[in-house]
Amino acid sequence: MLDTTALNQQRNFFEGHAAIWLFGYGSLIWKADFAYLERRPAYIHGWERRFWQGSHDHRGTPEAPGRVATLIRAKDSICHGMAYRIAPEVLAPLDVREKNGYLREKVPLTFMDEKGNGTEQSEGLIYLASDDNPAFLGDAPLDEIAQQIANAHGPSGPNRDYLVNLAVALRELGAKDAHIFALEQQLSQF
Ligand code: BEZ
């Protein structure tokens, strides 16, 4: 397994900043088990969420990996999530938690108002698992992805819970996400 912890600690895009906006698009939306100063619904433009990253250490095992969220580039799309304003030292434990292929990337993000409209923008940070990391699984028929998720379990719990919690959180945000809601539908048959 590639361990990205040390690589991420060199990726100091916000050196000298007192606080950083971290954009969560996966488990960070519904599982913020870190200290944050503020959180705001937000989106990033030019990206779509996909269950294309293997999880060998959280929602699956090396023998039977689960699948978790990453992002792919999609020029005209937006991906909704939750932005957290954090102190820079909060990133070190997240680098360890997300060490299976995720790298810090700097992205522009747009905050949402209570009516669901985009308001002001800021630079933020995401953890991205790109298609060249060894844990990347990529695309597969939706029913096969759902079946893999239904069968996978790891130290952080059933893979199913990750997907269901994410779908619930996205509905609460009023977010559209065809891939996630179609997968949730497929999962209900297993
Ligand atoms: C996220 O929720 O944004 C996330 C969580 C873990 C790894 C990568 C991204």
pLDDT in tens, 90-133: 999 999 888 889 999 999 999 999 888 999 999 999 999 999 99
Residues marked active site are found at 98
Which tens digit of pLDDT belongs to each residue from 153-187?
999 999 999 999 999 999 999 999 999 999 999 99
Nearest to 51 by CA among 189, 161, 183, 190: 183
Query: How many Å apart are CA 155 and CA 59, to the nearest integer?
Result: 7
Reported as a pLDDT band with limits 50, 70 and 90, residue 24 is: very high
Q: Would you say the CB of residue 102 lies under 6 angstroms from ligand 1?
A: yes
Domains, the chain, in order of start with CATH, read: 5-185 (3.10.490.10)
Q: Would you say the CB of residue 14 lies under 6 angstroms from ligand 1?
A: no
Q: Which of 43, 47, 57, 102 to mutate to test the pocket of ligand 1 (most atoms within 8 A of CB)?
A: 102
The radius of gyration computed from the CA coordinates of the chain, to the nearest angstrom, equals: 16
Nearest to 20 by CA among 122, 120, 128, 110: 122
CA of 98, closest atom in ligand 1: 7
